[in-house]
Amino acid sequence: MKRILVVEDEPAIREMLGFSLTKAGFRFEEAADAEQALLAIAANPPDLVLLDWMLPGMSGVDFARRLRRDEHTASLPIILLTARSEENDRVRGLEVGADDYVTKPFSPRELVARIHAVLRRSQPEADESPIVFEGLSLNPVEHRVEAHGHDIELAPTEFRLLSFFMNHPDRVYSREQLLDRVWGRGIYVEERTVDVHIRRLRKALAAQGYDRFIQTVRGAGYRFSSKAKV
Ligand code: CA
């Protein structure tokens, strides 16, 4: 049973989420603020964190950033709950490391669909051997990316994206195609979301010079070029 930690200060929303998540077959765990959540995560890391943006004390965005910086929680799936519908705010939420966001008010059905999608993206595909290009190695079973002996920390969505690219090199994919193949059909995500995750993936790969493998093809989309020089 997958464990979902809900970090939300409003008891009524926690209760509503507890009901919906339990009904959907998840184990519901709760924290009212970032400090409580840190203790809960340290004691027993959940499978996914459902994080409210507006929290007393440390905000949800700062908390997401903090989880991403810590190597123990760097790849913990995070969905932000936000009352903000401004696109810039949503993109900012993704930029600090959330895997997805849901805007309040949301339907329990939409939320559960997004949780399933994020969990699916964070699962390694079984029985696959590592894929290697020019010293960049992705191990789908261990969920690890390495370049010349250095670990490259990736959040679940960036890992899926890189895995997709490395499995389909030297072909151009439009944002829409990437959403279908990496995020999954039936999930509505803005195409600009792809750009945010590409940017994050490039940033993570840049330290070892592998950002050049991810190429922008003007007017068409993105390509993983196996012929790029490191
Ligand atoms: Ca709140």
CATH number of the domain residue 216 falls in: 1.10.10.10
11 in a domain, yes or no? Answer: yes
230 in a domain, yes or no? Answer: no
Does residue 138 sit in the same domain as residue 115? no
| Residue with the larger pLDDT of the pair 141 and 187 | 141
Average pLDDT over residues 56-72: 91
| Residue with the larger pLDDT of the pair 63 and 91 | 63
229 in a domain, yes or no? Answer: no
Distance 52 CA to ligand 1 centre (A): 6
Question: Residue 34 corresponds to which tokens in the numbers above?
Answer: 């970032």
Distance 28 CA to ligand 1 centre (A): 18
Distance 33 CA to ligand 1 centre (A): 9
Q: State the residue range of the domain holding 178.
A: 131-224
Distance 49 CA to ligand 1 centre (A): 15
Distance 69 CA to ligand 1 centre (A): 23
Distance 8 CA to ligand 1 centre (A): 6
Give percent above pLDDT 90 in the chain: 57
Question: Residue 189 corresponds to which tokens in the numbers above?
Answer: 């995500």
Query: Which of 70, 96, 122 delimits the end of a domain?
Result: 122
Q: What are the tens digits of pLDDT across the range 19-47?
A: 999 999 999 999 999 999 999 999 999 99
Does residue 101 sit in the same domain as residue 207? no
Average pLDDT over residues 166-190: 84
Does residue 195 sit in the same domain as residue 216? yes
Distance 98 CA to ligand 1 centre (A): 17
Query: Which of 62, 88, 122 delimits the end of a domain?
Result: 122
75 in a domain, yes or no? Answer: yes
Instruction: Report the mean per-residue pLDDT for the chain.
Output: 89
Does residue 99 sit in the same domain as residue 43? yes
Amino acid at 42: A
Please compute, for residue 177, the number of CA atoms within 13 A of its CA located in the half-sphere on the CB side: 11
Scan for tokens 């209760």, then name that residue. 15
pLDDT score at 39:
95
Distance 25 CA to ligand 1 centre (A): 24
156 in a domain, yes or no? Answer: yes
Distance 194 CA to ligand 1 centre (A): 27
Q: What are the tens digits of pLDDT across the range 94-140?
A: 778 888 888 888 888 889 988 988 888 787 555 577 888 888 999 98
CATH number of the domain residue 103 falls in: 3.40.50.2300
Q: 221 to each of 174, 207, 228, how far by Cα in Å? A: 4, 23, 17
What is the domain count for the chain?
2
Give percent above pLDDT 70 in the chain: 93
Average pLDDT over residues 47-56: 94
Does residue 22 sit in the same domain as residue 93? yes
Distance 54 CA to ligand 1 centre (A): 4
Q: What are the tens digits of pLDDT across the range 192-215?
A: 899 999 999 999 999 899 999 999
d(CA 77, CA 21): 16
Does residue 39 sit in the same domain as residue 142? no
Distance 166 CA to ligand 1 centre (A): 39
Does residue 196 sit in the same domain as residue 215? yes
Does residue 114 sit in the same domain as residue 209? no
Does residue 101 sit in the same domain as residue 14? yes
Q: Name which of 201, 127, 116, 187 is nearest 157 in CA terms.
A: 201
What is the bridge-based pairing of β-strands 100-103 and 78-82? Answer: parallel
pLDDT score at 144:
92
Average pLDDT over residues 55-82: 91
Average pLDDT over residues 174-188: 82
